Amino acid sequence: MKIGLIGLGNLGTAVANLVAQNGYEVLGWEYQSAVVEEINTQRVNSKFLDGVTLDDKLKATTEITAVLQECAVIFVAIPSVFIKPTLEPVRHLVPPETIIVNMAKGIDSKIGLTSFQTLAGILPQQRLVMLSGPSIANEFARGLPTVVMLAGEDRRELLVVSRILDNDHFRTRFSDDAVGVELGGILKNIYAIGLGMFDGQNVVSVNFRAVYLTIALEEMARVGVAMGAKIETFLYLAGIGDLLATALSEHSHNRHLGERLAQGLSREQIREEMGVLPEGYNTLKSVLYVAEKLHVSVPLAKGLWDVISGRITADKFITLFIRDFVE
């Protein structure tokens, strides 16, 4: 069985290499031809996963057709905003029995759908699985222990995907709450931006981090439940687990966005520096909109947006947070 990847960025390369090390032939589509060339000739991806030697069973291509037609299970690892333009024009090439595993954690703000919903709309006949949970690619790519959640309608698909991924250091657990598993992964990106802001301002108190993360989890769960998730999903790996990993990891792009904002850079400067703004940025905009429609109170998310849009400084946000939330 050949396994496919859509996107050989940081996460896509780490998962592709994990699956190749587990003994499968892997074919990954990548948008950037220099990355494809480097993977195939030098067995590294210095742009997205520097310092990791890639398994010989992993091959890269710029031809998406080959991945869609040859692979029985395909993992999607591009930011949400690129899913529709990448897959919609070629959706007729995907055989109906192919299993699609979504790993993108975001909302396409242009169409207002989560990445899982976007995929379900593009590929309505396909069996879809959501993979989420604390899974910093730079860590599990180096063999550090990682446990993630798989969610989908049918346990048979989850078993197929778990057999491809599981090994001594990377394990999967199942959930029947696909909405909650996806929303945990999406929403925590917003709050990781906030923790990055505190770090950027050198607010490094552990007490304070605990307060912030507790309030963030509570707000995440409130939004998630209003959007159809189960509360218990937020108390496990796809909720609190992913929030802690992303908010505390030095590798998190979302947390990095918060740090750079706190250091005084504008949104445009950060976009230039990072190439693309991390998922939490678009998610924040979409969640504020959805929260208004569903009458859900999200004061923390609103405060973060005020900083990102330049209405208040990160310093002011921190003062307000302490005054309004921690009294």
Q: Pick between residue 48 and residue 212 the one whose CB is nearest to ligand NAD.
A: 48
Site string for ligand NAD, 194-233 (x = CB under 6 A): ----------------------------------------
Q: Which of 3, 8, 247, 277 binds ligand NAD (CB under 6 A)?
A: 8
188 counts as catalytic: yes
Catalytic residue among 188, 230, 293, 316: 188
Q: Pick between residue 8 and residue 179 the one whose CB is nearest to ligand NAD.
A: 8
Inter-residue contact 318 to 203 (CB < 8 Å): yes
Q: Which of 22, 25, 31, 109 binds ligand NAD (CB under 6 A)?
A: 31
Question: Hey, which residues between 235 and 254 contact ligand NAD (CB under 6 A)?
Answer: 253
| CA dist., res. 38 & res. 15, Å (int) | 17
Task: Spell out a b/e string for 97-109, using b for 16 or more CB atoms within 10 Å of the CB, else e.
Answer: ebbbbbbbbbbbb
Stretch that binds ligand NAD, among 98-106, 171-179, 198-206, 303-311 (CB under 6 A): 98-106
113-120 long-range contacts, CB within 8 A, separation 24+: 114/80, 114/182, 114/183, 114/186, 115/76, 115/80, 115/83, 115/182, 115/186, 116/178, 116/182, 118/80, 118/83, 118/84, 119/76, 119/83, 119/87
Q: With binding defined as CB under 6 A, does residue 78 bind ligand NAD?
A: yes
In whole angstroms, the minimum distance from the beta carbon of 35 to ligand NAD comes to 7
Q: With binding defined as CB under 6 A, does residue 82 bind ligand NAD?
A: yes
Q: Pick between residue 55 and residue 306 the one whose CB is nearest to ligand NAD.
A: 55
Q: With binding defined as CB under 6 A, does residue 79 bind ligand NAD?
A: yes
Inter-residue contact 77 to 5 (CB < 8 Å): yes
In whole angstroms, the minimum distance from the beta carbon of 25 to ligand NAD comes to 20
Q: Pick between residue 200 and residue 241 the one whose CB is nearest to ligand NAD.
A: 241
Query: SS3 letters for 14-66?
Result: HHHHHHHHCCCEEEEECCCHHHHHHHHHHCCECCCECCCCCCCCEEEECCHHH
Return residues touching ligand NAD (CB under 6 A): 7-12, 30-32, 48, 77-80, 82, 86, 103-106, 135-137, 253, 279
